[in-house]
Structure formats: structure tokens, C-alpha cells
């Protein structure tokens, strides 16, 4: 399995509920290394652009409103098969359908407020990492 990078976000509900550490612990225990991280508050334009693929979906307006409602932490995760592994650690979009032991099953309150974002494929991972980080801000482990 090749080493990959993926973009992860602890969404505003996760930051507000003080569960950043719980989320990070799950990444680390799954063998995902945090190689870049930053806290920020998304502007309306940022959130609209980031979730632009969902522009036509009925939940788009609410999603943008939620994602701009408070600070988020964005991070790049690296590891073998990191894109799929992160999606496994996150669990299904709807926490009611997520497998027990996943972030969303254990920590999320609803499909709207589901604690984490994770890239869903290699092309989106590359695009989403570049959306938030310059290459010089990404620090792969040297030890
Ligand atoms: P994310 O992209 O945030 O990692 P995801 O890939 O599991 O989540 P997507 O289909 O990309 O799910 O949807 C993006 C976000 O939009 C979801 O995380 C969720 O907050 C919201 N969303 C998706 N489907 C619905 C829905 N049917 N009703 C309400 N909100 C939804
Ligand atoms: Mg998605």
C-alpha cells in the first residue's frame, strides 16, 4: 500500500465541543501521522469554494453556514493508504449509519454536524491539501 496524504478537517462542532484531542488520538492510533495543521475560521467564500462540488445539493446552504459557524482545524494526514484509512476512522457521513468505534459513530450528533471532513479520493486529496497548505508548511517525519 503506497504512502498517501489526505486532507482532514475537525469541523466547528468538534472544536466547540473540545474533542480535538479525541479525534487526533484516533488518527494517531490508526497509524496516520499529522504532518501539517492549522486553526482558522472559514469565510463564506472559502466554504463555498471548498464544498463547491455540492453546490446543487439541497444541504449546501446549511453546510456552508455550519462550516463557517466557528473555528476549524485543518490537517494533512500521511500514512499507508491514508485516504481510505482516514475514511474508515471517520465512519459513514450519517453517524446513525456509522460503524461503532468510528469518530462519527462515537462522537457526532447528526449528519449535519459530523465532527470531521476527509478527502474521498487521490485527486480531491491533492486539491484539498493545496487549498489550505503550501508545500513548505507540510512537514513529513524525518524520525
Ligand atoms: P465530508 O465531505 O465532510 O468529509 P462526506 O464525504 O462523508 O463528508 P459528503 O457527501 O461529501 O459526505 O457531504 C459533505 C457534507 O455535507 C457531509 O459531511 C454532511 O455534513 C453534509 N451532508 C451530506 N449529505 C447530507 C444530507 N443528506 N443531509 C444533510 N447534510 C448532508
Ligand atoms: Mg465528502
Q: Which ligand 1 atom minimizes the distance to the CA of 118? A: 4
The residue contributing the CA closest to ligand 1 atom 17 is 93
Q: What residues line ligand 1, using a CB cutoff of 6 Å?
A: 54, 59, 63, 93, 111-112, 114, 117-118, 120
Nearest-ligand number for the alpha carbon of 54:
1
Task: Determine the 3-state secondary structure of 4 from DSSP.
Answer: strand
The residue contributing the CA closest to ligand 1 atom 1 is 117
Ligand 1 center to 137 CA (angstroms): 27
**8 A C-beta contact, residue 75 and residue 119:** no
Q: pLDDT of the chain along its 143 residues, tens only?
A: 899 999 999 999 999 999 999 999 999 999 999 999 999 999 999 999 999 999 999 999 999 999 999 999 999 999 999 999 999 999 999 999 999 999 999 999 999 999 999 999 999 999 999 999 999 999 999 99
Q: Give residue 6's Cα distance to chain centre.
A: 9
**8 A C-beta contact, residue 9 and residue 78:** no
**What are the catalytic residues?**
117
Q: Where are the alpha helices (DSSP H) in 30-115?
A: 44-50, 60-67, 82-90, 103-107
Q: pTM surpassing 0.85?
A: yes
Amino acid at each position: 500500500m503506497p504512502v498517501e496524504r489526505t486532507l482532514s478537517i475537525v469541523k466547528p462542532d468538534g472544536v466547540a465541543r473540545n474533542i480535538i484531542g479525541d479525534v487526533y488520538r484516533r488518527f494517531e492510533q490508526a497509524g496516520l501521522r499529522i504532518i501539517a495543521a492549522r486553526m482558522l475560521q472559514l469565510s463564506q467564500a472559502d466554504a463555498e469554494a471548498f464544498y463547491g462540488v455540492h453546490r446543487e445539493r439541497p444541504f449546501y446552504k446549511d453546510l456552508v453556514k455550519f462550516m463557517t459557524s466557528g473555528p476549524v482545524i485543518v490537517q494533512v494526514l500521511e500514512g499507508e493508504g491514508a485516504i481510505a484509512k482516514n475514511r474508515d476512522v471517520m465512519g459513514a457521513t450519517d453517524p446513525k449509519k456509522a460503524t461503532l468505534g468510528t469518530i462519527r459513530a462515537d462522537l457526532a450528533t447528526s449528519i449535519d454536524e459530523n465532527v470531521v471532513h476527509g478527502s474521498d479520493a487521490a485527486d480531491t486529496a491533492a486539491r484539498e491539501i493545496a487549498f489550505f497548505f503550501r508545500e513548505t508548511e507540510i512537514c513529513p517525519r524525518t524520525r
